[in-house]
Structure 1
Amino acid sequence: MNHLTRIAPSSLLGALVASIAHAHTLEALARPLLELLQTATGLESTYLTRLDEPAGVLAIQYARNTRRLTIPEGLSAPWETTLSKHALDAGRFYTDDVGSCWEDCKIARSLGIVTYLSAPVRGKGGELFGSLCAASDERKPLTEAAINYLALFAQLIGQQIDRERLLAALQQANSSLAMTALTDAVTQLPNRRALLEEMERRLASHQDDRALIVAHIDLDDFRPINDRFGHEAGDQLLQTIAKRLRRMLRNGDMAARIGNDEFAVLAAEQRIKAAEAAIALSRRLEGATRGRFKLDTALIDYEGASVGVIVAEADSSSAQALLNKANAAMDTAKRARKNKEKIAPMPTGRAIIRYKWPVIE
């Protein structure tokens, strides 16, 4: 394009309305506005900048160039050295003699900018997002109408940025709420709902040569610990158990807290090795829940949890049914432990609890 043709205000406003009506993103709005700004001002380069205030950098986000002067997208410069900052500080947003007005602006001189027009782009609260600019390598006078169009376009862009930021904030909040709904507040493990959803997903996409292994873990004698030392100590024990479970997981495994003193673990293995893998998983879980736990108010030598592990059949279709089977296997393991203790009881019970000695300085 060798020249720009001015169009009637009614035609310009019609094009503006069409641009706004079809714009759902900042880019979709900004690019046609840059074209309209060229038409309104007769300046061959128009561009939108974004300010990274913490970094002190101004960058060209979108640009439209039609003749010799080229303002490249992605070009950035220290905020203090830019024409936008000079114009904002001076309150002077148009000049057709940049060299005389801001002779210390090296970037303007290197680009060959002679005529410069800008308007700050601000949010509803006054936050400065950047600037909307038009430039030429020739001296060109501007009408008041052209300057008014620039201000209007900058306002529309600021509103679009506000909308996108609000939408991003709402999406983030929604994601946080969704994550909270699937996460146990005490241990930060997935909760029962998250576990069942993951089981359903795995069952729906199962492979015939792969088997889903489900483990149900019950912390025996947890209530006496909770009652004796309080809920804070009980929460600390749960959190430590959760950390131990995380450390023993393999890639693709999942641990979840599914009840007050209950956890579950999902694993997958080749079906031909699944029975052996289930036994190994049970032993690892028993080991992970057994040992000494250092809490703020006590040292607890804990004999470990009761663990039930099952291998899902190839035609299994219900996550809840599988979890119920794992729970039944855990109950069987719990009864077997109690029967063993009746034959050879421990002198002090299954959970040996010691007070933590105070530190004497």
Structure 2
Amino acid sequence: MTGLPNRRAFEEYMERIRTGEVGCRDAVLTYIRLEGLNERNDRFGLQAGDEAVIAAARCVADFCRACVDGGESVSCFRTGGNEFALIRPEPRANSGQLHRQFSAIVARYNRTCAPRARITMTYGFSRLCDEDGKSRSISAWKAEADAYLKRNATRLGGDTE
């Protein structure tokens, strides 16, 4: 439906990072969640929900293209119904800058769509390496990104599961 690689591709890529096949010293994992999907489905129907997921995926894909155009390597995935993941090996830009860029892409979409089609997305970032440059386990890396995602969703009054 979205044209993005799925959860299996994400897990395979994470395994390639763990085994060193990707060959990066550090990477940033970003979890992104489309908020309010269940409410949209209930209120407007499944087609409206599907349209929101497609719009969110387009925003993710637009962001990935912008990163590549800016010299960043990035891989993007749809990991669940309303969930996406980005992995940036050897990141150049900091996560705050990238968050602002992604937010601008979502804001541009929201300015151009019908009011009922507007989307809200939350983010959670984590670096593979800690402050001392030591690699974390893949599970710890994922858990930290997920914890930040849930914290940011809670701040917006979004889903926490």
Q: TM-score range by the shorter chain?
A: 0.7 to 0.9
CA distance in 2, matches of 1:293, 1:197: 36
Q: Is the 8 A contact 2:63 2:105 kept in 1?
A: yes
Residue in structure 1 matched with residue 94 of structure 2 by the alignment: 277
Q: Distance in 1 between matches of 2:48 and 2:153?
A: 24
Q: Which runs of 5+ in 1 are unaligned?
A: 1-185, 339-349, 351-361
Whole-Å separation in 2 of the counterparts to 1:293 and 1:203: 40
Give yes or no for contact 1:191–1:256 (8 Å, CA) kept in 2: yes
2:80 to 259, 263, 275: 259
Which secondary structure state, in structure 1, belongs to the residue aligned with residue 3 of structure 2? coil
Higher relative contact order (CA 8 A, sep 6+): 2
How many equivalent residue pairs? 144
Match of 2:10 in 1: 195
Runs of at least 5 residues in structure 2 that lack an aligned partner in the other structure: none
Aligned AA (2:142): L
Question: Hey, which of these two has a bigger chunk of strand by percent?
Answer: 1
How far apart are the structure 1 equivalents of 2:143 and 2:106? 21
The separation in 2 between residues aligned to 1:254 and 1:243, in whole angstroms, is 14
- Give, in angstroms, the shift of residue 293 of structure 1: 6.3
Distance 1:227 1:244, change over 3 A: same
Tell me the distance in 2 between the aligned counterparts of 1:197 and 1:294.
35
Q: Provide the residue aligned with 2:52 in structure 1.
A: 237
Q: Does 1:287 align with 2:104?
A: yes
The Cα shift of 1:282 comes to 2.1
Q: Is the 8 A contact 2:30 2:86 kept in 1?
A: yes
Larger of the two Rg values belongs to structure:
1
Q: Secondary structure at the match of 1:244?
A: helix
Richer in helix (by share):
2
Q: Distance in 1 between matches of 2:10 and 2:136?
A: 16
CA distance in 1, matches of 2:146, 2:14: 15
Between the aligned partners of 2:118 and 2:150, the Cα distance in structure 1 is: 23
The Cα offsets for residues 39-90 of structure 1, whole Å up to 9 and x where unpaired, read as xxxxxxxxxxxxxxxxxxxxxxxxxxxxxxxxxxxxxxxxxxxxxxxxxxxx
Aligned-CA RMSD value: 2.4
Distance 1:325 1:214 in 2: 9
Q: Report if the CA contact (8 A) 1:293-1:299 is conserved.
A: no
Deviation by residue 1:125-163 (Cα, 9 ceiling, x = unmatched): xxxxxxxxxxxxxxxxxxxxxxxxxxxxxxxxxxxxxxx
Q: Does the CA contact (< 8 Å) of 1:217 and 1:306 recur in 2? A: yes
Answering whether residue 138 of structure 2 is matched by residue 322 of structure 1, we say: no
1:3-41: CA deviation from partner (whole Å, max 9, x where unpaired): xxxxxxxxxxxxxxxxxxxxxxxxxxxxxxxxxxxxxxx
The one-letter code of the counterpart of 1:334 is: A
Judged with a 3 Å threshold, the aligned counterparts in structure 2 of structure 1 residues 317 and 307 are, in CA distance, closer, same or farther, namely same
TM normalised by structure 1 equals 0.36
Q: Deviations over 1:161-196 (max 9, x none)?
A: xxxxxxxxxxxxxxxxxxxxxxxxx21211111111
Between the two proteins, what is the percent identity of the paired residues?
A: 25
Distance 1:207 1:216, change over 3 A: closer
